[in-house]
């Protein structure tokens, strides 16, 4: 799973999404719940490859992106379709919940 390193990478991702939905996982290395969620998000990024682009964003490395998406708590999952935020989830999420959101997003 790729990590977005700067706002330019984010802008390029959104501009080149070609109607492919995007899930952004906002996290920090020191965040316990973020580290708990990470293996599930990585697993789903492989399973949904080609259907949903899943990338992670370290809020300390790219704070302007966290500000853009009004991230105030982490983990924070942002679901984007057609360049618009369609859903967010703050805190831990079960794999089943993530699958439901990803299936909705990719249809």
Residue-range domain boundaries for the chain: 3-106
CA distance 103 to 105: 5
Q: Does domain 3-106 have CATH number 3.40.50.2300?
A: no
pLDDT classification of 107: cutoffs 50, 70, 90: confident
User: Are 25 and 37 in contact, with CB atoms under 8 Å apart?
Assistant: yes
For position 63, what pLDDT does the model report? Answer: 97
Sign of the Cα torsion 103, 6, 85, 56 reads: positive
Q: Which comes out higher in pLDDT, residue 78 or 19?
A: 78
* Per-residue pLDDT tens digits for 30-81: 999 999 999 999 999 999 999 999 999 999 999 999 999 999 999 999 999 9
For position 85, what pLDDT does the model report? Answer: 95
User: Are 1 and 55 in contact, with CB atoms under 8 Å apart?
Assistant: yes
- 15 forms bridges with which residues in the sheet? none
For position 18, what pLDDT does the model report? Answer: 82
For position 39, what pLDDT does the model report? Answer: 96
For position 19, what pLDDT does the model report? Answer: 84
For position 52, what pLDDT does the model report? Answer: 96
**Per-residue buried b or exposed e for 45-79, using 16+ beta carbons within 10 Å of the residue's own CB:** beebeeebbbbbbbbeebeebbeebebeebbbbbb
State the CB neighbour count (10 A cutoff) for residue 21: 21
Active site residues: 31, 34
């Amino acid at each position: 799973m790729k990590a977005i390193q700067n706002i330019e990478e984010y802008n390029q991702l959104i501009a080149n999404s070609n109607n492919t939905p995007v899930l952004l996982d906002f996290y920090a290395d020191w965040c316990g719940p973020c580290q708990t969620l990470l293996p599930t998000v990585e697993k789903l990024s492989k399973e949904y490859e080609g259907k949903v682009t899943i990338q992670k964003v370290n809020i300390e490395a790219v704070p302007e992106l966290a500000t853009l998406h009004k991230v105030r708590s982490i983990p924070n999952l942002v679901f984007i379709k057609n360049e618009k935020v369609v859903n967010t989830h703050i805190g831990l999420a079960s794999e089943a919940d993530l699958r439901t959101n990803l299936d909705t997003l990719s249809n």
